[in-house]
Amino acid sequence: MTIQFNPTDGPAARPWLTAFWQTLASPIDSFLEDRILSANLYEIRFDGAAAGLAAVYGESTLTLLHLAPPFQRHSQPIFAAARRLESVREALVASGDEHFLALVLESARRSEPGAYFFQQVPNVAVAAPAGYALRPAGPADEALIRQHSDDFFEPLAPALARGDLFLGYQTDELVAIGVAERSQLAPDHASIGMFVLAERRRQGHGTATIQALIAHCRASGLTPIAGCYYYNHNSKKTLEKAGMYSKTRLFKAQL
């Protein structure tokens, strides 16, 4: 039995990444996606045959271990070998990634939830309240966004150039900034989120912004998804009030 990890890049790994997405029980948001796509990628070969893909983020965090079905019966020795890549000592895994989750949990010294991943409740109409309007932000809005959100949306310029950002107004007053970032793994999905100006929080503007972003995604033929830090109870409540639900968690495990 020979297990090899050969460095590869995004274009060469695309078929594996597509296959990985298709196996998920529920989608992941842009946070975990970024930690897969910006990681060091390795094609896994088992006895010389292409078997799957691994990703190591920041030299120490295993963020992906995907195996083609014929090789899944060898997953435990392959996972053990993956733990010796670079300086791996922890893993990030979504609960919707059943096979990787099982491998991580049976080997972890300690694990804890780190985030919620949300989906939109299907066939539920959502609408922003009267007087609320969401408009696309452009490069000319960069100074305004920096003024009110500090570095929350960094890197800001590329996000503006892609058309990912939106400005939320309540009766002509800026109250929030929204984001809808199209997935690089599944272009028909978009991760949505918002930043409410400090002086306008706890007034329903976060919920209104999420509802408006959901409507924007639907009108654009996109499936909205979202994520929030596990202990950010206010963000969780906001997403739920806007008609989203979470059946998936992101776990961080010490290996």
* Residue 255, domain member (yes or no): no
- Is residue 9 in a domain? yes
The verdict on residue 113 lying in a domain is no
Same domain (yes/no): 152, 197: yes
3-state DSSP of 97-129: CHHHHHHHHHHCCEEEEEEEEEEECCCCCCCCC
pLDDT at position 127 is: 67
Given this model, what pLDDT does residue 165 score? 98
Assign 95 to helix, strand or coil: coil
Q: Give yes or no: residues 96 and 151 share one domain.
A: no
Contact assessment for residue 30 and residue 191, using Cβ atoms and an 8 Å cutoff: yes
The domain boundary, picked from 107, 131, 159, lies at: 107
The overall longest dimension of the chain from CA atoms, in Å, is 67
Closest CA to 214 of 186, 185, 245, 184: 245
Q: Do residue 98 and residue 127 come from a single domain?
A: no
Q: Which residue bears the tokens 């961080």?
A: 252
pLDDT at 10: 86
Supply the pLDDT for residue 15. Answer: 98
DSSP H or E stretch at residue 67: strand 61-67
254 lies in some domain: no
CATH number at residue 217: 3.40.630.30
DSSP H helices, 73-202, are: 75-82, 98-107, 142-149, 156-162
Q: In what order do the strands lie in the sheet with 110-120?
A: 3-8, 40-46, 49-57, 61-67, 90-94, 244-254, 110-120, 223-229, 189-196, 173-182, 165-170, 132-136
**Token duo for residue 222:** 């996109």
- How many domains does the structure of the chain reveal? 2
Domain check: are 125 and 220 in the same one? yes
83 and 170 fall within a common domain: no
Length of the chain: 255
Same domain for 24 and 100?
Answer: yes
In a domain, 29, yes or no: yes
Question: Are 192 and 245 contained in the same domain?
Answer: yes
- 125 and 37 co-located in one domain: no
Other Cβ atoms within 10 Å of 7 Cβ, number: 9
Domain that holds residue 83: 3-107
The β-bridge relationship of strands 189-196 and 223-229 is parallel
CATH of the domain at 51: 3.40.630.80
pLDDT attached to residue 130: 80
Q: Which residues of the chain have pLDDT under 50?
A: none
> Residue 112: inside a domain, yes or no?
no
**135 and 35 within one domain:** no
End residue of a domain, out of 55, 85, 107: 107
Q: Do 125 and 228 have their domain in common?
A: yes
Residues 6+ apart with CB under 8 A from 21: 27, 185, 186
Confidence at residue 203, expressed as pLDDT on a 0 to 100 scale: 86
State whether 73 and 135 are in the same domain. Answer: no
Q: Please write the tens of the pLDDT for every residue from 192-218.
A: 999 999 888 888 899 999 999 999 999
- Main-chain phi, psi angles of 127, to 5 degrees: -150, 140
Q: Pick from 107, 141, 162: which residue ends a domain? A: 107
pLDDT at 244: 96
**84 and 141: one domain?**
no
Tokens of 194: 């918002």
